[in-house]
Chain A
Amino acid sequence: MLSAGLAGCTTAAPPDNDAAEKAPSFEAEAAALAESLGIESPPDVKQVRTISLAEWGPTMIQCLNGSGWNATATDDGQGIVYPTVTEPGRTESLNIAIYTCEVQYPVERKYVTPLSDAQLEKLYVYRSTDLINCLEAEGYDIEADAPSMSVFVESEGAWSPYEGITLSPDAVAEINEACPQIPENIWN
């Protein structure tokens, strides 16, 4: 899960006045999802409620399991492993189930709004200090140097000290819990 309340990151980033305009609408997101899944005639699905990013994996798994599909959690506990199906008819049915669950439970718009420069700067400070310190305290060697803040912001936050470390299936959930890749409060 994505954890909140990390040292040194306790204040919310200033609101971005343009942020709401940058977030995709629920309708646009549903249409893009249907296209990605190859669904030509998406079913009419009503939204049940919006969810946080941390709820996404468990909520989707519960929803899919409720419609008869055996979805499980990834090793890090934050994603989904869909059942493997190869028959075209079954694949289409699974994709419609995925579409239905995601439209019923979309993530709140703040999580899909492009990060503002202030949020990116906040993320940079977290990743280049607290996150590196956390990973090193957990026994990981961080070899790659952080880019400059301007390069980080220009790349929209693509750098992470996680990129250079070796993980194992047994350790990935624990380290993501101990040293979250994103501090929850950047979304506030």
Chain B
Amino acid sequence: MNKAKKSILGVGVAVSLAAGALFAAPSAAMAASEFGSDTPITCPTNRPAGYVESIAKGRVNHRAGVTTLGSWNNGSAYVRRTSWVGSRNIPGWRTWITGTGGDISNGYAGCSS
């Protein structure tokens, strides 16, 4: 799993978390509009399916490299969304909010069988 927090709305700071780092539980005062990492991921042959995931409310988007994997409107409830990259290689990834009222409580990329 590879996850990184890139920006936190409302407090105006950017925090990066290394792969596997613990992530603090979200709270009402901690709203994230974006997660992602520019570090490429190469999935092992026994776990060849690269994916990007988010737990988010509002209009959320997933991208791997320059490819937009998917966009959803989750309304005002947090929903898990998963996008498969279709390759063992994830050339950087991003999940972000569009428009108003959204929040990402967690975003990550990884490899699954």
Contacts and interface: CB of A to CB of B under 8 A. Distances in A.
B66 to A, nearest CB: 6
A156 B70 contact: no
Contacts of B81: 74, 76, 79
Contacts, number: 115
Nearest to B28: A156
B9 interface: no
Contacts of B72: 56-57, 74, 78-80
A173 B98 CA distance: 23
A53 B73 CA distance: 7
A97 interface: no
A158 B81 CA distance: 13
Given A36-B97, A86-B66, 19 more contacts: A33-B59, A33-B98, A53-B73, A53-B75, A114-B76, A115-B76, A123-B77, A156-B78, A157-B77, A158-B26, A158-B55, A158-B105, A160-B79, A162-B79, A163-B55, A167-B82, A168-B49, A182-B77, A182-B79
Interface residues of A, number: 46
15 contacts: A28-B100, A33-B99, A56-B72, A57-B72, A74-B83, A80-B71, A112-B58, A151-B25, A155-B26, A156-B103, A157-B77, A160-B55, A168-B112, A169-B49, A182-B79
What does DSSP make chain A's interface, helix, strand, loop or mixed? loop
A182 B38 CA distance: 32
A154 interface: yes
A104 interface: no
Interface string B34-68: 00000000000000010000010111000000111
User: On chain B, which size bracket covers the interface?
Assistant: 35 or more
A26 to B, nearest CB: 11
Interface in B65-110: 66-84, 97-101, 103, 105-106
A84 interface: yes
A7 B80 CA distance: 21
Interface string A163-188: 10011110010000000011000110
A32 B26 contact: no
A80 B78 contact: no
B80 A115 contact: no
Given A155-B25, A158-B105, A75 B76 contact: no
A123 B28 CA distance: 17
B23 to A, nearest CB: 11
Contacts of A169: 49, 84
Nearest to A157: B78
